């Protein structure tokens, strides 16, 4: 008889002090980002992104702490055979060392493999353990388990690299609601693309929203920041989701939109380098996206209060005077007139 041993779920959400990060093959490998698609360009005006709010600790502020409290209360019988098999898909000592992952990044697919194996699927397994009342999912129809991770069908014309879906998909039930979208890039493609955008801009203690002008059909070229933001926002809108992750595996930006807010603001965390808490953050963000958690209602996630004064250009119909993309401020308050078209 196996000796009963128990450990709390949170123990297995720790990647350790030095998580493995595979290098890019060279500095020029997979360094591009795709152009804005016709479907993204054709997004109707009322559904277009209007501004970006940089909230550095977006995921840590409340959600990660609350999710960690949940995980610290969940006990696992590590002597049980089914739990041992389950842990092979969750425990970092297995997910990073015995999965034959590529030792070098040649393409976006390699980054996606690392992200799914080390972060996304273990976080999903932890979410299931909490959702299924502290039990390991066994004996169930594998095609009827929810939530699940999948690629996008492309039916909506906007295709994220991954989606977290809530709802069963069987011969009799073909329903599913996308709760979270995932957009992957290689480290070379993302690099320091968002360094200028992800800077603290405050007025009266509130983060100032940076206006964003949606690309037009006649725009021949747009910069990488604009391409990626257009892509991520269009994916959220097409799937009617509020949560997203933009990741290279070695760094991740957590993204949120408030679907009840008509101002069309994208809230973005800082670009967080892979560290011991990356799996905890992924678990926390999936928990938020899934929505079926044990968080007390009065401590649920609330959208940070931000300064929206720069969004007046949309209410006044002046956005056409600017190039597509973020309109950066000079002194954290006025619009940058240097971006105005001549």
Tokens for 83, please give them: 């739990």
Residues 267 and 55 sit within 8 Å (Cβ to Cβ): yes
Burial 239-273 (b: 16+ CB within 10 A, else e): bebbbbbbbbbbbbbbbbbeeeeeebbbbbbbbbe
Residue among 194, 191, 165 nearest 255 (CA): 194
pLDDT tens profile 127-155: 988 887 666 765 566 666 788 999 988 77
CA atoms 49, 54, 55, 58: torsion sign:
positive
- Across the range 37-56, mean pLDDT stands at 93
pLDDT tens profile 166-222: 887 655 556 788 999 999 999 999 999 999 999 999 888 999 999 999 998 766 679
pLDDT interval class at 70 (50, 70, 90): confident
| 279, 270, 250, 120: CA torsion to nearest 10 | 30
pLDDT tens profile 316-341: 888 888 889 999 854 344 444 444 44
Residue 13, pLDDT above cutoff 90:
yes
pLDDT tens profile 104-133: 999 999 999 999 999 999 999 999 888 876
Q: 315-318 long-range CB contacts below 8 Å, 24 or more apart? A: none
Residues 166 and 179 sit within 8 Å (Cβ to Cβ): yes
Amino acid 142: pLDDT: 64
Average pLDDT, the chain: 86
CA-to-CA distance for 259 and 204, rounded, in angstroms?
A: 25
- Across the range 149-165, mean pLDDT stands at 89
Residues 177 and 152 sit within 8 Å (Cβ to Cβ): no
pLDDT interval class at 231 (50, 70, 90): very high
Amino acid 84: pLDDT: 86
Is the overall model pTM greater than 0.75, yes or no? yes
Peptide bond into 147 cis (omega under 30): yes
Chain centroid to CA 201: 22
Tokens for 304, please give them: 């940070």
Residues 126 and 9 sit within 8 Å (Cβ to Cβ): yes
Residue 51, pLDDT above cutoff 50:
yes
Tokens for 48, please give them: 């277009």
- Across the range 293-300, mean pLDDT stands at 52
Residue 4, pLDDT above cutoff 60:
no
pLDDT tens profile 234-265: 999 999 999 999 999 999 999 999 988 889 99
Residue among 93, 101, 71, 88 nearest 19 (CA): 93
């Amino acid at each position: 008889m196996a000796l009963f041993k128990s450990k709390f779920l949170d123990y297995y959400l720790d990647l350790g002090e030095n998580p493995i990060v595979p290098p890019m093959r060279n500095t020029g490998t997979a360094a591009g980002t795709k152009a804005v698609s016709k479907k993204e360009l054709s997004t109707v005006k009322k559904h277009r992104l209007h501004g970006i709010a940089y909230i550095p600790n977006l995921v840590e502020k409340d959600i990660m702490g609350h999710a960690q409290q949940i995980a610290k209360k969940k006990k696992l019988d590590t002597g049980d055979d089914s739990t041992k098999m389950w842990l092979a898909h969750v425990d970092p000592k297995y997910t990073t060392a015995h999965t034959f992952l590529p030792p070098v990044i040649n393409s976006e697919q390699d980054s996606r493999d690392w992200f799914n194996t080390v972060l996304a699927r273990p976080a999903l397994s932890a979410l299931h353990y909490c959702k299924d009342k502290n039990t390991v999912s066994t004996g169930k129809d594998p095609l009827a388990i929810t939530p699940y991770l999948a690629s996008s069908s492309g039916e909506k014309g906007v295709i994220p690299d991954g989606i977290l879906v809530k709802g069963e998909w069987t011969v009799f039930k073909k329903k599913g609601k996308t709760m979270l979208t995932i957009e992957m890039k290689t480290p070379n493609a993302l690099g320091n693309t968002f360094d200028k955008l992800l800077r603290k801009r405050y007025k009266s203690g509130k983060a100032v929203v940076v206006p964003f002008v949606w690309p037009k059909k006649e725009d021949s070229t747009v910069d990488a920041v604009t391409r990626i933001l257009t892509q991520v926002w269009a994916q959220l809108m097409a799937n009617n989701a509020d949560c997203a992750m933009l990741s290279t595996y070695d760094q991740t930006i957590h993204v949120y939109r408030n679907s009840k807010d008509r101002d069309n603001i994208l809230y973005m965390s800082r670009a967080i380098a892979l560290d011991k808490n990356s799996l905890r953050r992924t678990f926390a963000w999936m928990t938020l996206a899934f929505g079926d958690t044990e968080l007390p209602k009065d401590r649920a996630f609330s959208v940070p209060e931000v300064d929206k004064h720069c969004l007046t250009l949309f209410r006044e119909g002046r956005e056409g005077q600017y190039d597509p993309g973020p309109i950066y401020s000079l002194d954290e308050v006025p619009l940058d007139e240097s971006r105005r078209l001549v």
